[in-house]
Each structure stands twice: as C-alpha cells, then as structure tokens.
Structure 1
Amino acid sequence: MLSIAMSTLRERWVAFVVSLVALALGVGIIATIALVMNSALTGFPGQRAALTGTVVLLSVSAGVTGFATVFIVASTFALTVIQRTRELALFRLIGATPQQVRRMIVIEALLLAAIGCVAGVVISLVGAPVLASVLASSGLAPSWFEVSISPVPLVLVCLGGMGLTALSVSVASRRAATIRPTQSLRESAGDPPGARPGRSARTGWGVALLLISLMGMGVVAAVLPELATVPVVYLWVLLTLVAAVALLAPALVLPVLRLLTLPWARGGSAIGTLVRENTLTMARRTAATTLPILITAGMSISLLGALETIGHAQSVEAGERLRADYVLVPEGGPAISAEALDRARKIPGVRIAPLAPTTVQVTGEAGLADGFWGYATDAQRFAAMTSLPLIDGTLEDFGPGGIVVSDIWELGAGQRVTVTPDGGKPVQLTVAAVVGDSAGGGDFYLDVSDTGPRPAEAAYVQAGGEAAAALRERSGELGASLLTKAEWAATVGNSDQGTGVIGMLVTLGIAIVYSCIAIVNTMVMAATARRRDLTLLRLLGATSRQAVAALLAESVVIAAAAMVLATAASAINFAGLLAALTQVVPGATLAVPWAPVLAFAATSALLAILATTLTATAAVRTPAPLSE
C-alpha cells in the first residue's frame, strides 16, 4: 500500500496540492502560536503574571484555529475522494478490498501530513517573531515580550498535525471503502443511484453534537448564566453548534439548494437548470465545497455577534450598577498609580473609591488553596457609589476588616474567612455581603487598608461641579481621564483585558484568514476538476463565456447555501446566549456588528467567486479529454 500511495501522490500531485496547502498552513499557524505561548510560559519566569492574559489568548487562538483546520482539512480530503471515484472503483475492480482502499487513503494522507508538518514548521519559524511583535505592539502582551524558538512545541504540533490528519481523513477513507467496482463503468460524476448523503456516521455525529450544544446552552442559561459573560469560555458553546451544522451539511444543504434554485427551475433558464441539477445530483461534492465558507461565516457571525452582545450587556449592567457621578480611568498607561490617587483625593470636594485589581489565596478545609481575583477599594465610599446584586448581607456593613464576596465562595454574611493578598500577609476578614451573578466586576471586594496601596484600573468619583472641573484640569498630570457615568459605561463593553474584545478579534482574525485561504484552495480544486464538464458544454454549443458563467453561477449558489446555514446556526447561538445573559442582565439585547459581519461574509463569497471564475477561465482555454 505504501508504494501505491507514493506512486499516486507522484502521478496526481496536482489533485493533492490543496490538501497539502491546507495542512501546511494549519500546522504553520498552530506551531506559530505554540512557539509564542511556550515563550510566554517558560521564557520569563519572573513576569508570568504579566503574561497570563497573553497565554489565555494564545490558547484560545490555537483552539479556534485547530477547530477550523479539522473541518477544512476533512473537506479537502473528502473532495479529493469524490473526484477520484472512478479511479478508486477501478482499483476495486482489479481486486482491491475495501480495507486496502481505506488503508491507501490514510497512508496518502499521512504522507501529505509529514510534508505539511515540515512546511508548517518553516512557516512558524518566520511567523512566531511576527506574531509576538503584533501582540506587543497592540497591547496584548508586554512591550518587552520576545519569542524564543524551542523544538518541544514544534514536535508536539507535528504529532498533533499527524493525528489531526488521521482524524480528518477517517470519514473520507470510510466513504472511499464503500465505492463499488461497478462505479468504474459510470460516466457521470454525480452521486451514485440510491446514494443518501444525509445518512452516514457523520450525520450521526452531527446530530449528537447538535444535541450536546443545545443541552450546553440550556445548562448555561438555567444553572451557570454567568459563563455567558466570559467570551473565552462561552465561545466553545458557540463553536460546538457551528461544528454540528458543518457535520450535518450533506443532509442540510440539499433542501437549501432546492429552495435557492427554485426560481431557476421555474424560469426555464438553461444555465439555471444546469446549475440546479449539478448541485443537487452532486450533493456530496457540493457539501464538501460549501464547508470552508460555512465554517468561516459561522465563526465570524457567531463570535462577532456574541462579543458585541456581551459587551453591550456589560455596558448596561455597568450603568445600572454605578451611582458615582464620574469615573477616573488611566490614560497612556495600564493603571492609575497610588500616588496619583492620593493627589486626586486632596482636591476639595472630591471623593474617590479606587478599583485596584488584586488576587487572594484562600485555604480550604482540605488544605487546598483557591485563588480569587477581585478589587481593593475604599470600602465605605465604594458602598455609597455602587449598587451590587446582593443575595445576602448589606454594603452598609462593608468597611476595613470586611469583604464582599461572590456566591462562588459559598460563604454567608457574617462568616469569617482568612485570605492572603498577593504580596501580603494573611488577614482574617468578615463577610459583609454576598453578591450574585454579574457581567462585570470581580470575585470579591475588600478595603485597601487590608492590602496596602495599589495601582487602580479605574476609580469611582463623586464630586460637585467645581470639584469635578478642578479634577479634570489636573487629570493630565495624574495620568488619567475623567469620564461621566454614561461615557464610562459605553467603554466597559469594549475594554481590553488581554482576552477581551480586541484579543478575541485577533483570535478570530487568525482563524478567518486561514479559512479564507482554504476557501480559495477548495474552489480552485473544485473548478479544476470540472474541465471535462466545461469541454462538454463547449461541444454542446455553449460559448466560453456561457460555460464560465454556469460554473460561476454554481459557486454563487454554493456560497449562498453556506451563508444560509451559517446564519441559521448563528441565530440559534444568539438565542441561547440571550437566554443566559438576560438571567444576569435583564436589559441585555442582541447587538450584532453588521459592518464587520457583512464584510467577512462578502469577502468569503467574493473569494469563492473569484477563485472559480479565474480557474474556470483558465480551464476553458485548455479543453480536457472526454475520456479518461
């Protein structure tokens, strides 16, 4: 089988280029991320806290890119098998068993994966320094961050790439093993008579994943609605549904295609009829071609819409929670220094409650330490300037020696707890109040006297007109800006905390760039294989322009079908997200950033159309033989 597989790769290398490019790019991107993440984890042992957000962001980026890679590589291998139906049928005709056919497909894929991994490593050696520079310049990593090359992540990524390839090709190889010897006698490239594209193990996995995603949405909405406020966590719920729709594409694409091509069926157009029959009779090929566009559009619509909706919910909650007149925010730096806050307090009529990020360690009954993230503040002024969703206790009891905790601490008001602030000594505090689900804020609030002075990421301010004017005049020397309540609330949903909106856009951007390249590869692969169809059209009297127009119309229909499925998946995702968010923020509403969403969708469709048009135009100039 190895010699046959190698011979096939040599003789039909053009047919495997698309799969090789998809593999090399996928491995290259993931290896690039792995090198940068390894540098963040091991290269700066004294600065790990400053790189926590960067590591989380890179982990999510690798996961999302891996998600896209699995489906795109699987679709390219599926398309390759479909285009080789007669060749594989001839192989069966001369005595090959289904197991031998399947083994040959897997060996071919693994050989390609080995070449792709080598190319991916080369790409990562160039891409890792570039990615580190982008992260540092955009504020997603410290300015001093640099990447170092290590063989360990490269070896792990290559092993993962081989495993990913074996997983991706498993369905295609199983389908190849079902090809019958008699199919070598068929001239038609369509699905064989009696074929049921919607009935396969892939469909079963798709249904199972759909049920899991719907159950996950229900559990989050009913039990853990606060998870919907964390994009890096909830995005996996969104991607699970997109994956389910992608797996169900062969079953779902046929009714969508019938609906989209219905006007052509009734209009009597020759090109329209040809497009309708081609897409419907070659459902498996159509589904494989649709998949990269579906993945790209599904990810972009779902994730961008979710980010905007979560950000809007955070803004609504922040406005409802804040009683202060103004908020002091850092300008030109990540935080407001403790010295600057002291100078601001000395302005007559100005009262300040800082929000200084800090972490604490709490040792449980079993001796295990749990870490929590929250804020140190001026307890009494904070209580007067904010309104938290209390479920036990009252903020009137919050002062030095007290702590306000979220319900995840599993404590009640009045209980005593010993905490160890980051860089401080253990201190015993009394729980003044317990707060419930929140789209913003931390796991706790304690008085700054229990932690010592710390830089603040913001500070609530109460001040009259003259005092506010004086503070605004001096805000420049404090390294801060004074915002009104409305202005600050509008910025909350767009704040970047390493894994916030900007970080998620970087994550999505990496995966979408890869997916867009995969769209071009797949459409070129599909159009190149249609040279024989174009030649037949020319022999039947069609002009070169009409032949290209037929293939172009087919790509438009395929892109439209992918957009319909992606929109349907996103609509379900948004319904589940809103069901959870409204439990936390009753005023939460759907907010979709239509400009970037439409831009991503239009780019995907345009790339598919351009790739098909250019490839078909080139193919029609070099007619293919009518017999193979």
Structure 2
Amino acid sequence: MLSTALHTLRTRWATFVGGFTALSLGVALITVMGLALASAADTPERRPQRFAAAPVVVQGQDTLTVPTPVGDRTHRLARPRPVPAATVTKLRRLGTVVQDRSFPVHTAHGPAGLVGHPWSTAAYAPYELRTGRAPKAPDEVVVSGDRTRQGTRIRTTTGTVRVVGTVTTTGSENFEDAVFYTDTRAAELSPHSPRLVVEADPAAVRAAVGADAGVQVLTGDARRHADPDPDRDSRELTAMNALFGTAGGVSAFVSVFVVASTSAYSVAQRRREFGLLRTAGATPGQIRRTVTLEALTVGALASATGCALGSLGAPRLAAWAVTEHLAPRWFTIGDHTWPYHLAFWTGLLAALCGVTAASWRAGRTAPTEALREAAADTRVMTRGRLLLGTALLLTAAVTLALALATDPGELLRRKTYTTRPMLLITATALLAPLLVRPLTRLLTWLPARLPGAAGMLVRENTATGARRTAAVAAPVLITVALAGSLLGATATIDGAKAAEARARTTADLVITPAGPDGFDPATLRRLRAVPGVEISPSASSAVYALEDGTALVRSAATAAEPGPLAATTRIPLTAGRLTDLDDDSIVVNTEWQQHTVGERIDVWLGDGTRKNLEIAAVMPTGTGDNGVLLTPRNAPGAPADRIDARLTDGTDPATAATALRRAVHPTGGTVRTGDAWLRATHPEAARTTRAGFLLVLGIALLYTGISMAATTAMATTDRVRELAALRLAGATGRQVLRLVAAEALTVVAVGALLGTLVAALGLLGMHGALALLSVPAPLAMPWAVLATVTGACAVLATVSALVPAALALRRGAARSAGVRE
C-alpha cells in the first residue's frame, strides 16, 4: 500500500498541491501563533521607570480587596485615594517628602501624549538637564527629548509656556514625553496627588505608615507599580493573546475545512481509478489505507514545511505587533519547542480528519465505476454528510434560540460572534451540494434563455457537476461568510451603541474637557453663570459588587444630579423613577443580580468606600454600557468629564455657544451641538479587534486563493476530453475559454450568495438580541467589503480556470497539428 501511495503522489502530484500548500500554511500560522502565545507567557519583570532612582515611594490605596469564602477578590479602584494627611505629617519627620503629580498637557498644534510633572520629581526617573536651566516662573517649563528647542514657546490649553531647558533620561529608555513645571504651578494644574517620594530609610517609612488602610510602601522593583498605567503591559498582552488565539483557531478551522473539501473532491475525481483497483482485486480496506497513507505522507511533509515557515514568520509577526502597538515594546519571540510539536501534530491530525470521510467513500467504490463514461454526478451527497450537515444546522438554530431566550447579551460578546458563524458555515458547506443545483439554475435562468448555447452550457455544466461546483464554491462561501459575519457584527454593535447614545442625548450642546482630569470647580462656576443655559455635569466612576458571594464585579458608573440629568438626557427605565435617585440610592440595570426597586444592596464606590444603597430605578441592559447612575456625593474625587447643556426658551444658540466656549477656554474644553458630539464620539470597535478581524480575513482570503486555484485546476484538468469535444463540435478556442470563465464566475456567485446568506442569518440573530435588549439598531451588512471579497474571489477563480484550460487547448492543438503533418 505504501508503494502504491507513493507512486500515486508522484504521478498525480497536481492533485495534492492544493492540500499540501493549504495545510503547510495552516501549520505555519499555528506555529507563529503558538510561539507568540508562549513568548507572551514569559513576561519579563518590568523595571521601575518613573521612580527608578527614588529611595521609597508611598502610594495611597489603589486597589479594592474583598474577602470571600473562596479567597480574596481584588479590583483596581477607579479613583485611587491619596495618602492620608496624617501619614504625610509623620513621613515629613523622617526626611524630605516630594509629592508626585502627573497630568496631561494639551497643545494647540504640538505632539499628543505630553505628560506634566512638578520639577522636583525629575531627579527620581532620573532626568538630567541637557541644556538650559530648571523652571522658576509659572510660564516656564523643561521638556524631555529633542523635539523642542530651548526658547521655544508652546501654546497649551492652560496658557502659553516657554521652554527654558531640556532633559534626557539616564536610568531607562524614553518612556514618556515629559513637561516639567514649577512645583507650585503643577499643584495648581493637578491638585490630586496619589503618591509621594520619601527620602528616608525604608524600614522607618514602613513603621510610620503602620496599618494605614491600603497605603503601600514601594521599594526596589515594586516601585514599578507607581509608574503611569502599570497594568498597560498586562492589558496589551491579554488583547494580543485574544488576537493571536482567534487567528490560530481560525487557521486550524480553515485548514481542516480546505483539506477536507479538497480531499473529498479528489476522491470523487478518482472514482474510475479506484474502480480499476477494485476490478484488479483490491479490497475496500486496501483502498482506504492507500488514501489514508497518501494523506499522512502529504500531512507530514506539509506539517514539517509549516513549522519551518512558522519559525521564520514569528519574529516578523512580533515586530508587526510592536509597531502597531498591539504588544509591549519589549515583546520578542522566545526559544520554545512546544508550539512546534503542537503545530506539527495538529497539522497531521487535520490531514487525517480531512481525509477520513473521503477514505471511507473511496473504499465503497464499486468495480463498475471503472466503466463509467458520464461525468455527471448521480449522487451528490453521502448519507453521513447529509446527517452531519443537518445536525450542525439544527445545533446552530437551537443554540441561537436558547441564547435569545436566556441571555441575549451573550450574542453581543466578541468571543461569541467570532466563533458562532463557524458552526453555520460548516453546516452550509456540508449541505452545499444540495443547494448548488437550484442556485445555479436560478442564477443562469436568464443567460440560458439568451441566443446562443453558452448560457445553456454554463447552466448544465455547473448543475450536473454539483460536486465540482460545491468544492470550488466552498472557499468562497467561507471567505464571504467570515467577512460578512465578523465585520457586520462589529458594524451592527457600533450602530446599536450610536443609536442608543442618540436616543439618550437630548442636550442642545455638549461640552467635553481637553483631558482626563475633567473640569475644575472654577470652570463649572463660569459655565453655570452663562445666562439662558441649564447645565448638567456628569462624572465617570465605577462601583463594585459581590455576586453570589464570590465574584467581585466592576460596573461603570455615571455620577450626576438627577434633576439636571433628567432635563438633558433621556434615560430608559424598566422600573422606578429617575427623580427618586438621591445620596442613599442607586440606579442599576437588569444585568445586575439584584435589580428590584426598593431592594438594598452592598456596593463599594470608586474610591473603595463601602455603602449600602437602595435601588431607585432599573435601566435595561442595552448594549452593555449602561452601567449604573449615582449622585456626585457617591463618586468622591471624580471630576466632571462631560457637561450637557439645555437652552432655555428664547436663548440664541450661537450666542450661548460662544459664551460657553469663552467659559471653558482657559482649560481647553470643546463645545459641540448634540448631533456634532454624537458624530465625533461615534462608537467604534477596539483597534485590536479590528486588527484581529483583518488578520482573520486575510488568512481566509489566502486559503480561498489556494483552495480555489487547486480545486479549479484539478477540475479543469479533468475536463480535457470535454473541452476537446467542444472544439470538435465547432467551438473556437476563445469561445471555450469564455465558457470556462463564465462557469467559474457562476460558481463564485453561488459561493458568494451562500456566504452572504450565512452572514445575514448570523446578523439577524444579533439583531434579534438587540431588539430583546430594547436597543433600536439597523442591520449593518458590510456590502462594500463583501463586494471586494467577491471580486477578488472572481478574479482568482477565473485565472485558476483559464490557465489550465488554455494549456489543455494548446496541447490539443499541438497534437492536432502533429496528426495533420
């Protein structure tokens, strides 16, 4: 059997090229993703940056820890607490105490991402003066890097400043673009100081801090927890793992899909060959073993090739992830072996799974198949394929119905709308041979009635060769379906969030700050003094609650006065009244475990304070961003980060907008109309999600090209006698090629139609979930992307069909010329 399998591979190599290429690329991608995930797990210990030269850093409480029966549960606080004043007094007795302040600096036309600090903290990075001197006046600054020269004036949202010096870091890489003010000016710009540096013995500092709740004394490598955004690396790694994990899963799914499709068509194409072997005395078991040995041989070679390609591609992927800010700057591929084992054996298993059904079908080939002359498919589907396709289709329908009935919000989660379409895609692909005949007859109904025989031939060739049509249409189906499902899901959710925001916003004008520090009390007083305008400031915070006594859940919170909020915002409610909200109550949504009006619940506020609040009203879950509503007193320290303004009767909108802009000008706020604010803040999918989907679609399109090229070339090569018969019947070479191209385009249209149908069904499920969640949202089908993908598939299919057909016609013409000579 092995010698027969090797001989078949040598003589029919073109039949196995497509599967070999698809499988090797799939293994390469799995290798790359595995190496990336393994390298992400080996996170190096991050060294301190902002306080690399500080002896001791004392930081106020920034985490909430709640004991539960199964252990402590911890969440980072939305609003860290400052070090208590009494503790600061004790620390000053030990040595010099320097308060740290970090705040964003916004310029009119300069670089983004500038961070302000007091000058006294520069030595703790450490920064050293390269040119100039330290700042002495409120309008003087020192900047890091070399983008700004000494003497330059910078126009910021808090006033124009003059650069009097530049600094460079000596302890680590340039991790920020710093702007240093005098200590007094920095305290004016950022009164909040969550941490301080103490120049004293660490043991004495710990003794002075004692048991103060939540206060941390950081020394050595632990000082990195005082760096800005210390969780950034872990967030980026989590997002990167999700991205690469999804891409790796799709790679495995598509590679098995392509290999199985190619194997099934290859076996159907070789039925006469198997019939001859049966006539010569081969048993069904020998036929199955031959096909399996062919697949294992190709799978082993393809897996080894894929591992080699993956080792070359992984460093390039890591560099791309760092460049696109999808991974930390230190991320590189490490020295790991288990991803190679995983990829190799996964590839071999994929080859075996892809050929299992085909081998059983090959073993059932009757000896009489050797005598068949007709190329028409008499039986387009096996019983097992029909049962499996029907089972998967029913599973997709039942799980969708259960999700809609029990937890519609689950359908809006990224993991769900990424994986769920694959079930429906597989079911449709398995049942495709049953669907291609009616679809091809529908698509070719008009061309078949036009003068000439071309339309009729296209209809009959694609309809009678149902297996060939289904095999070529399958990769088009998966690509179009993935493009429509993934991009359509994100577009639908984005549209739902935008519609939700539009329905809730009734303000005439919306005012937003220049940075995350929000509006200060002085700005709020100036805004309230504007005649003819009623304002409703709101602040972003968070609350924490225990569910089932073991899970500490964080919910976004909006703090606002209920009266002005009701006047400028339309809050949807399922129970209760917004006007009942006070300092002793809370408005929750139906996603909360406890959501009955009048019920009291224990929560922890954004600064970690525990409170028992009464539920005043309940909002619908919506798209998951409704969060909770609180009064400002229950969001201590949270600055107003949005102000909705309503104009009283008779107030001129232009005059009011000008007065509001004048009031926020010192802090750099922006005044927009309600519609302009909605357009500017239109929700969009996260950058990592878009990058992941584009990577997945790139993989799918690559596999589509490989599978279509291989399957179409196999199908065209097998039709040499048919094409020769058309020439003998009087068709010219160009007419034959036009016929082949028309058939290829028809098959692509069938696959695109099935893929669009699959995507539409998935999006209808999501649309139903949004309707159950009381979110008005249109169904967003990415028609432009679908047209682009279908066009690319059409070009690939046409080229893949025309090239072997032209070569076959040329060989036939050469033989005819030889006969005439």
For this structure pair, what is the TM-score category when the shorter chain's length is used for normalisation?
0.7 to 0.9
8 A Cα contact 1:528 1:615, kept in partner: yes
The counterpart of 1:355, out of the listed 521, 537, 540, is: 540
Q: Of the two, which has the highest radius of gyration?
A: 2
Letter in 2 for 1:550: L
Q: Which residue of 2 aligns with 1:257?
A: 440
The reply on whether 1:296 has 2:482 as its aligned counterpart is no
Q: Which moved more, 1:181-190 or 1:553-562?
A: 181-190
8 A Cα contact 2:489 2:763, kept in partner: yes
Q: Which residue of 2 aligns with 1:563?
A: 752
The reply on whether 1:599 has 2:788 as its aligned counterpart is yes
8 A Cα contact 1:379 1:400, kept in partner: no
In structure 1, C-alpha distance between the alignment counterparts of 2:638 and 2:286, rounded to whole Å = 68
Aligned-pair CA distance for 1:316: 0.6
Write the deviation string for residues 488-542 of structure 1: whole angstroms up to 9, x where unpaired.
4345654233565565444434433433443333323333333343344344443
Secondary structure of 1:354 counterpart: strand
CA distance 1:363–1:110, shift in 2 (3 Å): same
Written as runs of structure 1 = structure 2, the 5 A alignment for 1:482-561 is: 483-490=672-679, 494-498=683-687, 500-501=689-690, 503-561=692-750
CA distance 1:176–1:143, shift in 2 (3 Å): same
Scaled by the length of structure 1, what TM-score is found? 0.85
Q: Which residue of 2 aligns with 1:278?
A: 461
The counterpart of 2:622, out of the listed 413, 438, 441, is: 438
Q: Which residue of 1 aligns with 2:289?
A: 103
The reply on whether 1:212 has 2:212 as its aligned counterpart is no
Q: Which residue of 1 aligns with 2:517?
A: 338
Letter in 2 for 1:34: G
Q: Which residue of 2 aligns with 1:21?
A: 21
Letter in 1 for 2:811: T
In structure 2, C-alpha distance between the alignment counterparts of 1:96 and 1:324, rounded to whole Å = 81
Aligned-pair CA distance for 1:266: 4.4
In structure 1, C-alpha distance between the alignment counterparts of 2:810 and 2:417, rounded to whole Å = 50
Aligned-pair CA distance for 1:19: 0.5
In structure 1, C-alpha distance between the alignment counterparts of 2:381 and 2:597, rounded to whole Å = 57
Q: Which residue of 2 aligns with 1:406?
A: 589
**Structure that is richer in helix per residue:** 1
Secondary structure of 1:6 counterpart: helix
The reply on whether 1:314 has 2:497 as its aligned counterpart is yes
The reply on whether 1:469 has 2:689 as its aligned counterpart is no
In structure 2, C-alpha distance between the alignment counterparts of 1:129 and 1:455, rounded to whole Å = 44
8 A Cα contact 1:326 1:483, kept in partner: yes
The reply on whether 1:224 has 2:407 as its aligned counterpart is yes
The counterpart of 2:272, out of the listed 67, 86, 98, is: 86
Secondary structure of 1:390 counterpart: coil
Aligned-pair CA distance for 1:249: 0.3
In structure 2, C-alpha distance between the alignment counterparts of 1:174 and 1:471, rounded to whole Å = 79
Aligned-pair CA distance for 1:395: 4.1
Write the deviation string for residues 259-315 of structure 1: whole angstroms up to 9, x where unpaired.
333445545734444333332332212211111111112222333333322221211
8 A Cα contact 2:544 2:604, kept in partner: yes
8 A Cα contact 1:327 1:482, kept in partner: yes
Gaps of 5+ in 2: 46-230, 529-534, 647-655, 817-821
Q: Which residue of 2 aligns with 1:169?
A: 355
8 A Cα contact 2:239 2:688, kept in partner: yes
Write the deviation string for residues 429-449 of structure 1: whole angstroms up to 9, x where unpaired.
554543322114155556787
8 A Cα contact 1:316 1:489, kept in partner: no
In structure 2, C-alpha distance between the alignment counterparts of 1:595 and 1:385, rounded to whole Å = 37
CA distance 1:587–1:60, shift in 2 (3 Å): same
8 A Cα contact 2:21 2:706, kept in partner: no
Q: Between the two proteins, what is the percent identity of the paired residues?
A: 34
Aligned-pair CA distance for 1:612: 1.4
Q: Which has the higher contact order (CA 8 A, sep 6+)?
A: 1
- Output the aligned Cα RMSD: 3.6
CA distance 1:304–1:543, shift in 2 (3 Å): same
In structure 2, C-alpha distance between the alignment counterparts of 1:448 and 1:575, rounded to whole Å = 40
Scaled by the length of structure 2, what TM-score is found? 0.66
In structure 2, C-alpha distance between the alignment counterparts of 1:26 and 1:102, rounded to whole Å = 25
Write the deviation string for residues 30-66 of structure 1: whole angstroms up to 9, x where unpaired.
3333333444444367632343333333333333343
Q: Which residue of 2 aligns with 1:197?
A: 380
**Structure that is richer in strand per residue:** 2
8 A Cα contact 1:117 1:161, kept in partner: yes
Secondary structure of 2:591 counterpart: helix
CA distance 1:103–1:311, shift in 2 (3 Å): same
Secondary structure of 1:338 counterpart: coil
Q: Which residue of 2 aligns with 1:589?
A: 778
Write the deviation string for residues 94-113 of structure 1: whole angstroms up to 9, x where unpaired.
22222222232223222222
Aligned-pair CA distance for 1:120: 2.1
8 A Cα contact 2:622 2:775, kept in partner: no
In structure 1, C-alpha distance between the alignment counterparts of 2:23 and 2:715, rounded to whole Å = 18
Letter in 1 for 2:516: S
Letter in 1 for 2:765: G
In structure 2, C-alpha distance between the alignment counterparts of 1:249 and 1:145, rounded to whole Å = 44
Secondary structure of 2:538 counterpart: strand
The counterpart of 2:556, out of the listed 366, 369, 374, is: 374
The counterpart of 1:71, out of the listed 257, 261, 269, is: 257
8 A Cα contact 1:495 1:501, kept in partner: no
In structure 2, C-alpha distance between the alignment counterparts of 1:560 and 1:64, rounded to whole Å = 24
CA distance 1:140–1:446, shift in 2 (3 Å): farther
Aligned-pair CA distance for 1:161: 2.5
In structure 2, C-alpha distance between the alignment counterparts of 1:38 and 1:232, rounded to whole Å = 21
Secondary structure of 1:353 counterpart: strand
In structure 1, C-alpha distance between the alignment counterparts of 2:629 and 2:811, rounded to whole Å = 72
8 A Cα contact 2:243 2:688, kept in partner: yes
8 A Cα contact 1:293 1:562, kept in partner: yes
In structure 2, C-alpha distance between the alignment counterparts of 1:507 and 1:404, rounded to whole Å = 40
8 A Cα contact 1:424 1:451, kept in partner: no
In structure 2, C-alpha distance between the alignment counterparts of 1:114 and 1:420, rounded to whole Å = 57
8 A Cα contact 2:587 2:617, kept in partner: yes
CA distance 1:142–1:187, shift in 2 (3 Å): same
Aligned-pair CA distance for 1:250: 0.8
8 A Cα contact 2:287 2:362, kept in partner: yes
CA distance 1:389–1:42, shift in 2 (3 Å): farther
Aligned-pair CA distance for 1:320: 1.2
The counterpart of 1:184, out of the listed 347, 361, 370, is: 370
Secondary structure of 2:756 counterpart: helix
In structure 1, C-alpha distance between the alignment counterparts of 2:672 and 2:501, rounded to whole Å = 13
In structure 2, C-alpha distance between the alignment counterparts of 1:360 and 1:510, rounded to whole Å = 40
Q: Which residue of 1 aligns with 2:49?
A: none
Gaps of 5+ in 1: none
CA distance 1:196–1:581, shift in 2 (3 Å): same
Secondary structure of 1:622 counterpart: helix
CA distance 1:31–1:419, shift in 2 (3 Å): farther
Q: Which moved more, 1:370-379 or 1:157-166?
A: 370-379
